[in-house]
Structure 1
Amino acid sequence: MLEGNPFTGEVTIVLNGERQILKLTLGSLAELEAAIAEDSLVSLIERFEAGRFTTKDVIRLLLAGLRGGGWQGTGRKLLDADIEGGMPQAIRVAALLLTRSFAMPVT
């Protein structure tokens, strides 16, 4: 399930049976940049485009998106969560979150 409002950059994921909205806000982007300290958002995007991302990249991106969507959980809670669709779905959601956040939707 990759719903959400593409015009506002939203994507959804199901954690522990509950649908959550992910969105990269300015605050969550700043948090993401701090988490990837020596890296940049551009290099993160390039890794996803080239298929060279790490599990850590996926988790950090999901956490930033969840926080931007209003989720109050911690990184530990995300690591312990049951993600509907498993890691393949987590990767799809992370990639779509980047796409929707940095590309204009086609109308």
Structure 2
Amino acid sequence: MVRIHPNRRRGEIAACFDGESRLLCLTLGALAELESAFGVANLAELAERFESGRLSAADILRIVGAGLRGAGNRFSDADVAEMSAEGGAAGFARIATELLWTTFGGDEMEPPDLARADTQKTDNSHRESAKNPSVPQAETRW
């Protein structure tokens, strides 16, 4: 198997499908594809939709498919639906989460640990504010 080295600064991740490593990246075109698929008007609404952490199998399929196409792979969502990933459906969920985290969360932060998220029901709000400080918004002038 060929080792792929993703460039996190470009938003790339690597994942293994059907035993083959592939790059995924949510480029501007891939994000536009997701905006259309999810019926949202802009990136802020798209990010809000994903913040809930409740992704359906169809959502995961669309995210992974858009990420594969964004990195130059020629797979339809139907092709992705037929693929296998290590860990099955949970593996696909981890791939989609890592891709979204890399795209929207920044390259220096680690994606949330999905395996531990379900078993730990503690209040981590103090950690969240440290990990995700508010970012001042630029004023728009028309």
Q: Which TM class, normalised by the smaller chain length?
A: 0.7 to 0.9
5+ unaligned residues in a row in structure 1: which ranges? none
- Aligned residue in 2 for 1:82: 84
Question: Is the 1:44–1:53 contact (alpha carbons within 8 Å) kept by the matching residues of 2?
Answer: no
1 or 2 for the larger relative contact order (CA 8 Å, sep ≥6)?
1
Would the alpha carbon gap of residues 39 and 86 (structure 1) be closer, same or farther in structure 2, given more than 3 Å must change? farther
Give the AA of the match of 2:68: L
Query: Residue 49 in 1 paired to residue 41 in 2?
Result: no
Question: Is the 2:24–2:69 contact (alpha carbons within 8 Å) kept by the matching residues of 1?
Answer: yes
Question: Is the 2:40–2:46 contact (alpha carbons within 8 Å) kept by the matching residues of 1?
Answer: no
Give aligned pairs, total.
105
Structure with a larger share of its residues in helix = 1
- Aligned residue in 2 for 1:29: 31
CA displacement 1:25-71 (0-9 Å, x = unmatched): 11111111111125765455345433322111111110110000111
Question: Is the 1:14–1:83 contact (alpha carbons within 8 Å) kept by the matching residues of 2?
Answer: yes
Report % sequence identity.
38
Return the match for 2:70 from 68, 71, 76. Answer: 68
Give the AA of the match of 1:26: L
- Aligned residue in 2 for 1:94: 96
- Aligned residue in 2 for 1:20: 22
- TM norm structure 2: 0.64
Return the match for 1:59 from 54, 58, 61. Answer: 61
Question: Is the 1:13–1:84 contact (alpha carbons within 8 Å) kept by the matching residues of 2?
Answer: no
- TM norm structure 1: 0.82
Larger radius of gyration: 2
CA displacement 1:4-35 (0-9 Å, x = unmatched): 32211111221111111100111111111111
Q: Superposition RMSD on alpha carbons, in Å?
A: 2.2
5+ unaligned residues in a row in structure 2: which ranges? 110-142
